[in-house]
Amino acid sequence: MHDDRNLVEARLARVLKERIRPAVHPLTTPLSVEIWSTPGEPVPVAEGLAAPTRPITPGTSWGTPWGTSWFKVTGTVPAEWAGRTVEAVLDLGFTPRTPGFQCEGLVHLRDGTPVKGLHPRNSHVRVGSPVAGGEQVHWRIEAASNPDLDASGVPFQPTPMGDRTTAGDAPQYVLGEMRLAVFDETVWNLVMDLEVLGELMAELPVDGARRFEILRAVGRALDAVDLQDVNGTAAEARSRLAEVLAAPAVPSAHRISAVGHAHIDSAWLWPLRETVRKVARTASNMTALLAEEPEFVFTMSQAQQFAWIKEHRPEVYAKVKKAVADGRFVPAGGMWVESDTNMPGSEAMARQFVHGKRFFLEEFGIENDEAWLPDTFGFAAGLPQIIRAAGSTRLLTQKISWSRTNSFPHHTFQWEGIDGTRIFTHFPPVDSYNCEMAGRQIAHAAANFKEKGVATRSLAPTGYGDGGGGTTREMVAKAARLRSLEGSATVEWEAPADFFAKAEAEYPDPPVWVGELYLELHRATLTSQAQTKRGNRRSEHLLREAELWAATAAVRTGFPYPYEELDRIWKTVLLHQFHDILPGSSIAWVHREARETYARLAGELEDVIGAAQRALAGEGTRELVFNSAPHARRGVPAGSASAQAVQGGTAAPVPREGGGYVLDNHLLRVEIDGRGLVVSVYDRAADREAIAPGQAANLLQLHPDFPNQWDAWDVDAFYRNVGSDLTEVTALEAEGGAVRVERAFGGSRVTQLLSVPADAKRLDIDTEVDWHETERFLKLAFPLDVKADRYASETQFGHVHRPTHQNTSWEWAKFEACNHRFVHLDEPGWGVAVVNDATYGHDVTRAVRTGTDAGTTTTVRASLLRAPRYPDPETDQGVHRFHHALVPGATIGDAVREGYRANLPERRVTGAGAAVPPLVTVDNEAVVVSAVKLADDRSGDLVVRLYEAHGGRARATVRGSGFAADRAVLTDLLERPLPDTEPPATADGAVVLALRPFQLVTLRLPCA
């Protein structure tokens, strides 16, 4: 037979596009449309419904950037359409771009009842099936004219459209056709048949029999279509496809569990307030689709998004809640938002699960067993223990498939964290959280699945996400045809829990991946939007203080514990840890609001802390020093206050021969040369120099920073090929107990204060940068005379080790990584820590010196600032402040202690002068208290969370002050007793713990 494959395939493409798809709506009639545009921010539904409108016709421009318009759409179903299925097709001015990144709308009945959302791939609203004819149609559409930031077609271009204050008022969209139409279900099903078969055919081997079976059937079907009467001949065309569509999948076919999904970014290329509406639109769409498709299952994560619907659109929430009760609309993930997991601190990461799971339990009686993080930019090694401590055992993500250097070796595996906890983990091999049931996606999932031969199942989150929209009726129709179809993987709608149960059952002993799940992409998110990151770090530590002192005051003085206020503030901080807010990858509007929010929260938390400390201090004129750190400081025990604190002070600067200054406290001798660089940090006790020979620390280095794409997200390895050391000074002088260094470069200025405490081996560096660069990367370097093959970075409830060498591509790819409060490296018996109060990104490199020394220089560089221009063209412009400290001779315990010190400064309060004893004490410095608070159930019980911080086994006695701790109960993160767990050992009214390395423990102590 002659090979006419290309001919038939080209015929299919054209006939589908030009004849069959248009015949889905064979009869149409225009609707009348009127419009009212809000003068500012969105208004309540009642106000939008009551507003005066004016006529508008298709082809008319509408919609200022970030504006809202209310359309009134009216019409009458023609009498001659009686007995037919009729729907409206409503085009707000959609472009071919993906849903969620342009205009969208929510259709209401005239009384305000929501009907469904509108976007370019889902623009229909059903009128009736069948209609009687003569029905009056009256809808109101709340339409958002959100600008398309990539409308130029060239991605990552700087744009002023990312903030309402700079976007202007030019109309963004042109109204399309708004019409009633007869819906021909037979033709629509023919379209679905041909799309599924055509897409499958394209994925099958060219020389395979199944491909040609489908090809011939398609040809016969097209022969049956009368192009002048598609509607009259569609049924015959479908009949000619029935046999190839009925051929079942082979027994070994890969099995895909599809779940309806709309991964909605809680903020990204739109502000938070718009996400509130995106979620309502999508939820309306999905409840409508669930009513039409009995096998369809939809899942939505992020408790915050459910809470938004509940607060802002209760009528939508009522539909959601019913669908949840029916098991069709499935809450997933058990987190407050799909947060970043690299940068949130220990308690914040724990509270993501506390607040998320508690919301789902209280609202729906549902407890999720899976963490659901499809789009998060890598996963910290402390996360498995947190997931398990929250009562969950599973994780889903697909983001690691975005890695650019190495292909991850598994799709289903056990992930082991720093403490040894393992979590059953699945990466959908479809490599998308926006699966559309396209043939190429289904074929890719089957071919890509790395567990072939030992497992058969994968999951496919199906629906339009990022900007929302969800699953469409076309995706459901395709899934139905793929349920069992020869040549394809099989597809079945299933909830995540059902998929995981089957996947675990068939693969009980999967391979193990140990340590962090590092994304080899988006590394610059550890640095972009420095003020957002500082706001997060400060909020986390202020919350620690607020809970500690409020709980202490409540127990000691009857101070009213601010349950509601702390709950609200925690949820706001958790929201801003979303994986496009904290990472700095959102539009200017988002980060402007984040800065304002963090400032407001700081004020509120300072008020809570101040009120609690005043209640504890009492009336008087004597100064008390409060220490909220988990270690004693200057004679003040951890979590207590004392009037006997040792006074501080700093070593006085002394002029240095040859220029510069010397800071010497008899423990540490620091030399600062005439360039303002640190050329010596000498540890007197160890008789050891910390700075590598011929090198200088406190060295600011500036690199060009123009990645190949994803400007705010990425820094590419080639940035290190070119750079300059900032060694010129404009001022160098002693200022009190510090050395002041000023520099100028480009359009920016830097001022630093370098000091050495009188009683500690530590060099403190306070840096202020007035930053006005673009596409530059600023680093702060510390070249150290230490030979270390690995170094430690703090992560949640412990630290993770990373190599300093690049033996493999996996190690090379980690050229920018995350730490929390410290980085530590050492040789046996001596180490160095670099601690910080607000930075996360860093790099560590090593070089062997030439000459007679031939020693190893290990350089730690903290990443300070970037200046990408997309999506926020003014990223990081302005004044920033950073604190770093170099701690020579530091053990890992010293690094932990100094990290907390840098982030939890002591507070001085005037009062009666009586010491405030700590509520609880722990007798082992390796065991760190991360939270002291009252129980969320308002029982008055005290909750203490602690962890082993040094990476070894530890025994510790936890003792209450003023109450016995021997009634303590071990709990999960939600403060519920752990099932099947023996009570903790007790002795002399105290709890005795034996902890494994990095083990996390939560104790609940009745203190009445």
Q: How far apart are CA 849 and CA 303, in angstroms?
A: 54
pLDDT of amino acid 771: 98
Task: Provide the pLDDT for residue 28.
Answer: 98
Residue 883 buriedness (CB in 10 A; 0-12 / 13-18 / 19+): middle
In the set 375, 705, 716, 764, the catalytic residue is 375
Dump pLDDT digits (tens) for 673-711: 999 999 999 999 999 999 999 999 999 999 999 999 999
Beta strands in 788-896, from DSSP E residues, in sequence order: 790-795, 798-803, 817-818, 822-827, 830-836, 841-848, 856-865, 878-888
Contacts of 238 (CB under 8 A, 6+ apart): 186, 189, 190, 193, 221
Calculate what percentage of the chain has a pLDDT beyond 90.
96
Distances in Å between the Cα of 263 and the Cα atoms of 136, 360, 398, 901 are 36, 18, 12, 39
At 854 the pLDDT is 86
Chain segment 931-962, per-residue pLDDT in tens: 999 999 999 999 999 999 999 999 999 999 88
Q: Is the pLDDT of residue 2 over 80?
A: no
* Mean pLDDT value of segment 362-381: 97
pLDDT at 385: 98
Whether pTM > 0.85 for this model: the answer is yes
Cite the beta strand spans of 464-543 per DSSP E.
490-493, 512-514
Read off the pLDDT of residues 551-608 as tens digits, 9 standing for 90 and up: 999 999 999 999 999 999 999 999 999 999 999 999 999 999 999 999 999 999 999 9
Q: Is the dihedral of CA 187, 189, 193, 199 positive or negative?
A: positive
Question: What per-residue confidence (pLDDT) applies to 558?
Answer: 96
Q: How confident is residue 647, by pLDDT bands cut at 50, 70 and 90?
A: confident
Give dist(CA 683, CA 451) in Å, integer.
53
**Half-sphere exposure of residue 765: CA atoms within 13 angstroms, side-chain side:** 27
Of the candidates 132, 119, 141, the residue with the CA atom closest to the CA atom of residue 33? 141
Could you give the C-alpha distances from 490 to 162, 205, 297, 481, 484, in angstroms and in order? 42, 18, 16, 9, 5
The share of the chain scoring above pLDDT 70, in percent, equals 100
Average pLDDT over residues 68-96: 97
Task: Please name the helix (run of DSSP H) or strand (run of DSSP E) that holds residue 375, with its range, or none.
Answer: none
pLDDT-derived band at 219 (thresholds 50, 70, 90) equals very high
Is 80 exceeded by the pLDDT of residue 543?
Answer: yes
What pLDDT was estimated at residue 776? Answer: 98
Residues 6 or more apart whose CB falls under 8 angstroms from that of 541 comprise 345, 903, 904
Determine the 3-state secondary structure of 645 from DSSP.
coil
Max Cα separation, the chain?
103
- For residue 203, how many other CB atoms are within 10 A of its CB? 18
Region 231-259 average pLDDT? 98
| Per-residue model confidence (pLDDT) at position 964 | 86
Residue 1007: pLDDT band (50, 70, 90) is: confident
Per-residue pLDDT averaged across 852-879, rounded?
96
- Mean pLDDT (the chain) is 97
The pLDDT value given to residue 962: 85
Contact criterion met (CB below 8 Å) for 174 and 307: no
pLDDT of residue 1: 62
Paired with 794 in beta bridges are 799
Mean pLDDT, residues 115-125 taken together: 97
Q: 72-81, 846-855, 858-867: which has the minimum mean pLDDT?
A: 846-855
Q: How confident is the model at residue 966 (pLDDT cuts 50, 70, 90)?
A: confident
Cα separation, 731 vs 675, whole angstroms: 9
Q: How confident is the model at residue 963 (pLDDT cuts 50, 70, 90)?
A: confident
Which of 238, 230, 247 is CA-nearest to residue 184? 230
Whether residue 748 contacts residue 770, with contact meaning beta carbons closer than 8 Å, is answered with yes
Residue 375 is a catalytic residue: yes
Q: How far apart are CA 470 and CA 117, in angstroms?
A: 10
Q: Residue 965 has what pLDDT?
A: 85
What lies within 8 Å, CB to CB, of 770 at 6+ separation is: 748, 749, 750, 878, 879
**CA distance linking residue 501 with residue 56, whole number of Å:** 54
Mean pLDDT for 212-229 is 98
